[in-house]
Structure 1
Amino acid sequence: MDVVTKVFVGLHIIGIASLLGGFLTQLKPMSAGAARFVPAMLHGALTMLVTGVILVGLNQAQDHSLNNIKLGVKLAVLVVILGLVYVKRDEEKVEKPFFLAVGLLTVVNIFIALLWT
């Protein structure tokens, strides 16, 4: 079961790398006012959602104690990210505040995962 959990942790990290990588690739266009949400950002956020839910289930199946408040906050942040990316995914240009919010919330989600014990 540990191998399966580690596979899903790896997939979760790939999802966040896709979301953050997509954001970072659009920083230069953002300075010119032409940033957009690339498909990698949507796919990364969806991957994070699916693998995160699976990881919670796997950990509960192994009777590990979970910090449900932390998981709820992380889920809420991810839902906001997904909402912004999904709604604005087809626009040629995304307003700078929306785009920066997604990047900031992604970084916040990373630090919640790492620092909240």
Structure 2
Amino acid sequence: MLRKFIGKGRRKRRSRKAPGSEQPAEFYDVAYREREGYRQHYTKSVYYFLWCVIMDRLRGATVSKMVDIGCGPGQFAALVRDTLEVDYCGIDFSSQAIEMARRLCPDFTFR
């Protein structure tokens, strides 16, 4: 009886993710497939300035291996390829991102 009472009047909540919260892989698959910015050269990316700062730090370090968690479609990987000589492995849970990254940087490992 109590269950019936508690259940009455309850509305189903819409499953909306708060900004900045994790999204499922399908969300990113669609974004990588549809948004032009993910197919642009890394120098055209909104993240290019940040990536240049990271590359400056890495050039000063002795880096021979790199793991990039959340590598996306491979734009940062392409910058790494053009700047450093490292053994690179990119990891992303979006299959679309991994496919794009493999096409962009076939000599690197993506999972």
TM-score > 0.5, shorter chain as reference: no
Structure with greater helix share of residues? 1
TM-score by structure 2 length?
A: 0.28
Q: Which protein has the larger Cα radius of gyration, Structure 1 or Structure 2? A: 2
* Structure with greater strand percent: 2
